[in-house]
Structure 1
Amino acid sequence: MATGIDHIRELESVALGAPSRRDAVVLGSWRRCLDDYRLDPARACEAYIVPRSRLREHRERAEGLIRTARGGIETLHQQLAGLGYVLLLSDDRGVTVDFIGDPAFDGALQKAGLYLGSEWSERRAGTCAVGACLVTGEPLTIHQSDHFDVTHVPLTCSAAPIYDSLGNLAAVLDVSALRSAEAKTSQNLVLHMVSATARRIELATLMAQARGEWVIRFSRSPEFIEVDPDGAVAVDGSGCITATTHLAQRMLCEAVGQGAPGAAGGGVIGRRLSDFLDVDPDDLPSLTRSRAARDRLVLTRGGGAVFAHAIAPQPVVSAPQRRPVASPLAELSGGDAVMDAAIDKAFKLSRTDLPILICGETGSGKERMARAIHECRGRRGRFVAVNCAAIPESLIENELFGHVPGAFTGAVGGGHKGLIREADGGTLFLDEIGDMPLALQARLLRVIAEREVVPVGGARPVPVDLRIVSATHRDLADLVRQGRFREDLYYRLSGAELALPALRARSDFEWLVRRLLPAGRVVGESARLALIRHDWPGNIRELVNALQFAAAMAGDGAIEAADLPETVLARRAVPVAAAAEDADDELAAVLAACGWNVSQVARRLGVDRTTVHRRMKRLGLVPPNRRHT
């Protein structure tokens, strides 16, 4: 193995344009590290573990994926047992959100960055399997001195991308080892195994999300069409493709001569299956198990052929509920009716380009909703959040629109791109839009109308393609009447409006507490009642702070009322628990007013749910939908 000095010299020679024996993937990554990220090969870059608060945010975003992928990861780990490998699941930003390794080597794994919370983006860690996979979108191995940073040279890492059902690169599955054989070819089988597992995770994700639609699996071999297909798509009743695995997307594109897929969906999502295959919706029943696998050969529009296995929509056996939504949105509610309605509306809007205005009190989760909408849409660009109230008025123009070189005294020499252009291809989230200075509102209106931005000091407009989602706790219509907000901008931003309920009005309060509670912590009965009785003027943001404070105060034990912040204990609703036992008419009235939602009734009366249920039983109060006629 080359020494650290030899490795640095090789990197420096590549920077000068000298030929190299490295493969194209490694050389491409090295040049990005040198030219784009300006990494210094002589400066050691130790493994970086994100703070716990950030890790929690990353894990929350990837919760659905973690749950789906876990079975596949555990199976792969068993297949590699005893060989010294650790398995990492990284999100689309390179942060490890799940991992399986030998606990006996925890210290060494954490030091090497093969641990939960480690960030393996190229910009942070240099050339590495996860980072290179995120850039190329292809399975690959970065072996020993392929790594850019000398501290990572002992490692061998093989990674494969995991795409979501809309064609976006959502995660990377990585298999790494602290030590390995010298030859890179020793990792070929590992790369094959990790690629196969990633493909199965994509298939499991699609199957879980497409229960109400036809699913068509594809394989080049009839023997494997039902047990291990190459890929799959979901189609609706009209034969339009609604979801796809990455390999199926690639197969369909290549079948009609489109080449490898590019942007999300690769030109497949939303198109008819018959555009790619000689199959109409009426033909799908003939591709089920009712026929032998060898008889299910389907011709492509490009003259080729694949074997197909169609799976009919699964019948809905549970009670009618709101339509299934993609996991980033579904994870925002625990069953509150108002929140569910907002989520259902957001899901429908996420597939459009309409600008969305999210209204709600400060701290009620407006940015979380906006980010979930962005993730459901599947744009490849970034989600860029701008707090219009937090940036000084003298700086907001430059921050949003950027500037050309030399635009003003003190300007950065190379100019500044600006947050609007940073969001090109993605979503620009304008929080507290009601606080944007009136003078800048006209410029923002032009960005929305013309889809172009002119930097400060510039003359030529730069085209941008972005989705605008804005949010406010103010009444924008009232600001328009006062002349403090442009009416034309208001109507441009409010192509659709979403209203989020305040925390004190949500019936899924206890679900939120469990979800936001630090891992491994338990809330005692006294704390639970105190949390229920508080009126939460700071909404979800206040709840998060209160739970984190209480966890710190409680040490290793259960959280009790005494561990909560004084502001929570002092701001209880009117204590009517004692009087409520005799206020039978009041209970009946509150039940009716709350639509017989027991959780909401309990919070309004300042009692726990069991008290409400006990009194309902004693008085014979039964919800209308359970009464016998």
Structure 2
Amino acid sequence: MREDTPHAPQPMTGRETGWLTPSIQKSHERSETFGLCTFTCPDYDVLPKAELQLRLEQSRVLCAHATPVMETLHEQIVNTQSMIVLTDAEGLILHSIGDDDFLQRAEKVALRPGANWAEDRQGTNAIGTAITERAPTVVHGEQHYLAANRFLTCSSVPILDPYGDLIGVLDVTGDHRSYHQHTMALARMSVQMIENHLFSSTFRETLQIAFHGRPEFLGTLMEGIAAFTCDGRFLSANRSAQFQLGMPLAALRAHTLSSLFGLTSPQLIDRLRTSRGQHVSLDLHSGAVVCASVEFRRATLANNDWPQASHGTTRPSPQPAPRPVATARAPSRLESLDTGDPQVSAVIAKVRKVIGKDIPILITGETGTGKELLAQAIHNDSPRAGRPFVAVNCASIPETLIESELFGYEEGAFTGARRKGALGKLLQANGGTLFLDEIGDMPYPLQVRLLRVLQERLVNPLGSAKSIPVDIAIICATHRDLREMIVQNRFREDLYYRLNGLVVKLPPLRERTDLATVIHMMLESEPLDVAASTRLSVAHDVMALFEQCTWPGNFRQLGNLLRTAAAMVEDNGEIRREHLPDDFFDDLRNVTASAPVLPGLPARQPAPASRLQDVAVCAIAGAVARHGGNVSAAARELGISRNTVYRKMPGLAAPDHLLREV
């Protein structure tokens, strides 16, 4: 029998089952009740591609946060005859990466996207058993109920959302002969990363306290994170915070900032003001003393009485530091967006004709073309300019939370609901403008409720019998083809025709004729890391290269590139070829592979290798340091891939840096 194929079915005698752990033994018993037979070939039921795509859409937030962590984990275990698997809460495999040769072996037992590995399908296995037990689980070799799976050893960890509900499983599976005991530890750390990412994205507009009894653990996976409203009401806490506070999430929901940390919000503000750049010392309700850093989001604060951020005391929202010579950027107006491109000018002319006339506007265009900037400018030029502008990204809010985010809820409307309820985005925008970004990603069932609000102008918060009148202007945006989604029954036709009063399309950056003007404005207004006295400019040959680039990431890509280049310029402030990242030249070569060589574009390196290497490594090291070791955040800031960061700084791939990848 070949070693690269599953073991032949062998009967399991009573003597052999004696070494099973109690949880595995119970799982075997459950497998029997499901009617599974150890000796028969499993019936692999893999979802068709279209159905799998729908399930991926339903779990898009989980996938978005888990995929980068999976890539990092894979770098730690590469060439170990293993793979990494992400499933949803039902055990359906959503995504997998691993060594190519082992992925081929895993295909034989349908260990791939679209297959379901719940216990009632596959018997005892780490994924299904971890879901049932809601606990980290290792199933090694012969412990699998089905003989076909006994060439595997699997380590699975449940993933919980910020409210403590199971949303998926992260699994590391490999050849049973090469199992390492540290695999489970790596899987558990990776899940902590995913959960912390989900926590931060869910509680964007909150007061967050990161704490630990030892200050050196702040900023690592060991730190506890608790989220509160600005008036001190408890929202949630990550697993480490629950452990340090000595209570599960259900018990913590009865507490407040004052009952957990011994001080009110105003007292915390005073403590921050007098901390002089040091970590804040807080007293837990148990009597323990912890070091803490505080992150606050101004969007949730009614008054401007929070202290300014200082190193070691607060964690300001992750926005670039403003240039010393610049004050806060003036609110965008339509006039400021009209920079000479005929297509953009036509869009602005159309928009001006409908402003203030209660006509919904739908903005289409590729990701990164400035749709939210246009929406903000429309609001600022409208009669509602003095009222709220509320933006909601339908693609970034977990599907289980988007309904409560939009409509709000009454106290006790669902498990984990805040005391006294919460005001939804629709009511927050009352009198002003609601901007629904990525409207194509709104869950289908929720589209019905939104349509009703637009028709009746009444909002029913979750758990409430009251209908509240609302007066809002609606602006939506999407990069998707909504008409095609209607054909696929993924977007409601009636909602589409309710939203498309005026449809305008922003051109991608590669099609605009005002690139030089746009770059000049960005250099003047963007918060860039340069000295106050430095005036930035672009060399002529570099501008020629910019004109040839296709800019697949549009303004986001351009902005990241300019920030990278600005960090490397000399005193004269001129951006030259040696200040541009390698990826930019790689993209140019791909675009011009069948075309003549661009003027000034070298065959391989834009500058002497040693010079460029030093500059690039310096810029990358600075970005990684600014983001506390978060490689993904550093890569996004620089506009380069994570692989480029690791290639330029190979030391980041060491396991101990995994702790800081949060």
* TM value normalised by structure 1: 0.51
Secondary structure (helix, strand or coil) at the match of 1:93 reads coil
1:212 aligns with 2:205: yes
The answer for the alignment partner of 1:248 in structure 2 is 241
The 8 Å contact of residues 10 and 147 in structure 2, kept in 1 or not, is answered as no
Secondary structure (helix, strand or coil) at the match of 1:160 reads strand
1:141 aligns with 2:138: yes
Deviations 1:76-104 (A, max 9, x none): 11111111221111111111112212345
1:274 aligns with 2:335: no
Q: Shift of residue 311 of structure 1?
A: 1.7
The answer for the alignment partner of 1:25 in structure 2 is 23
Among residues 322, 333, 343, which one is paired with 2:390 in the alignment? 322
The 8 Å contact of residues 156 and 171 in structure 2, kept in 1 or not, is answered as yes
Q: Distance in 1 between matches of 2:81 and 2:116?
A: 21
Secondary structure (helix, strand or coil) at the match of 1:112 reads coil
Amino acid at match of 1:241: F
1:278-427 → structure 2 map (5 Å cutoff): 278-285=262-269, 296-313=280-297, 319=376, 321-322=389-390, 345-348=406-409, 352=413, 368=443, 370=445
The answer for the alignment partner of 1:229 in structure 2 is 222
Secondary structure (helix, strand or coil) at the match of 2:501 reads helix
Q: Distance in 2 between matches of 1:278 and 1:509?
A: 44
1:129 aligns with 2:129: no
1:513 aligns with 2:497: no
Q: Distance in 2 between matches of 1:294 and 1:237?
A: 22
Deviations 1:536-581 (A, max 9, x none): xxxx4x444999xxxxxxxxxxxxxxxxxxxx9xxxxxxxxxxxxx
Q: Distance in 2 between matches of 1:45 and 1:174?
A: 20
The answer for the alignment partner of 2:534 in structure 1 is none
Secondary structure (helix, strand or coil) at the match of 2:172 reads strand
The answer for the alignment partner of 1:77 in structure 2 is 74
Secondary structure (helix, strand or coil) at the match of 2:108 reads helix
Q: Percent identity?
A: 20
Amino acid at match of 2:293: H
CA gap of 1:107–1:227, structure 2 versus 1, over 3 A, is closer
Among residues 1, 13, 22, which one is paired with 1:9 in the alignment? 13
1:198 aligns with 2:168: no
CA gap of 1:329–1:292, structure 2 versus 1, over 3 A, is closer
Q: Distance in 1 between matches of 2:80 and 2:114?
A: 23
Deviations 1:114-156 (A, max 9, x none): 3222211112111111112112222221111121111111111
Gaps spanning 5+ residues in structure 2: where?
301-328, 330-372, 377-387, 416-438, 456-461, 508-662
Deviations 1:319-358 (A, max 9, x none): 554365886867799xxxxxx9x8854344697269xxxx
The answer for the alignment partner of 2:157 in structure 1 is 160
Amino acid at match of 1:495: A
The 8 Å contact of residues 89 and 172 in structure 1, kept in 2 or not, is answered as yes
Q: Shift of residue 51 of structure 1?
A: 2.5
Among residues 50, 54, 63, which one is paired with 2:51 in the alignment? 54
Farther-moved stretch of structure 1 (108-117 vs 303-312): 303-312
Secondary structure (helix, strand or coil) at the match of 2:261 reads coil
Q: Distance in 2 between matches of 1:299 and 1:4?
A: 60
Among residues 101, 115, 139, which one is paired with 2:98 in the alignment? 101
Q: Distance in 2 between matches of 1:106 and 1:54?
A: 22
* TM value normalised by structure 2: 0.49
Q: Distance in 1 between matches of 2:411 and 2:59?
A: 18
CA gap of 1:208–1:515, structure 2 versus 1, over 3 A, is farther
1:91 aligns with 2:83: no
CA gap of 1:172–1:353, structure 2 versus 1, over 3 A, is closer
The answer for the alignment partner of 2:598 in structure 1 is none
Q: Distance in 1 between matches of 2:475 and 2:131?
A: 40
Q: Distance in 1 between matches of 2:208 and 2:491?
A: 45
Q: Distance in 1 between matches of 2:205 and 2:174?
A: 41
Q: Distance in 2 between matches of 1:326 and 1:247?
A: 29
Q: Distance in 1 between matches of 2:274 and 2:463?
A: 52
Q: Distance in 1 between matches of 2:277 and 2:28?
A: 46
Q: Shift of residue 207 of structure 1?
A: 1.6
Q: Distance in 2 between matches of 1:300 and 1:510?
A: 46
Q: Shift of residue 206 of structure 1?
A: 1.5
The 8 Å contact of residues 7 and 150 in structure 2, kept in 1 or not, is answered as no
Report the aligned-residue RMSD.
Answer: 5.0
Amino acid at match of 1:228: L
CA gap of 1:287–1:234, structure 2 versus 1, over 3 A, is farther
Q: Distance in 1 between matches of 2:141 and 2:276?
A: 48
The 8 Å contact of residues 155 and 178 in structure 1, kept in 2 or not, is answered as yes
Secondary structure (helix, strand or coil) at the match of 2:187 reads helix
Q: Distance in 1 between matches of 2:394 and 2:476?
A: 20
Farther-moved stretch of structure 1 (295-304 vs 134-143): 295-304
The 8 Å contact of residues 7 and 145 in structure 1, kept in 2 or not, is answered as no
Q: Distance in 1 between matches of 2:132 and 2:225?
A: 24
Deviations 1:218-261 (A, max 9, x none): 33432111233343121111212223223323443x2xxx5xx3
1:239 aligns with 2:307: no
RCO comparison, higher one (Cα < 8 Å, 6+): 2
1:34 aligns with 2:38: no
CA gap of 1:107–1:228, structure 2 versus 1, over 3 A, is closer
CA gap of 1:231–1:150, structure 2 versus 1, over 3 A, is farther
Q: Distance in 2 between matches of 1:128 and 1:331?
A: 28
Q: Distance in 1 between matches of 2:122 and 2:399?
A: 31
Farther-moved stretch of structure 1 (49-58 vs 198-207): 49-58
The 8 Å contact of residues 10 and 39 in structure 2, kept in 1 or not, is answered as no
Q: Shift of residue 110 of structure 1?
A: 2.1
Q: Shift of residue 5 of structure 1?
A: 5.4
The 8 Å contact of residues 330 and 343 in structure 1, kept in 2 or not, is answered as no
The answer for the alignment partner of 2:576 in structure 1 is none
Secondary structure (helix, strand or coil) at the match of 1:198 reads helix
The 8 Å contact of residues 92 and 114 in structure 2, kept in 1 or not, is answered as yes
Q: Distance in 2 between matches of 1:344 and 1:276?
A: 26
The 8 Å contact of residues 215 and 233 in structure 1, kept in 2 or not, is answered as yes
Secondary structure (helix, strand or coil) at the match of 2:114 reads coil
The answer for the alignment partner of 1:600 in structure 2 is 501
Amino acid at match of 2:255: R
Amino acid at match of 1:9: T
Deviations 1:188-224 (A, max 9, x none): 2111011111101111122222232111123343211
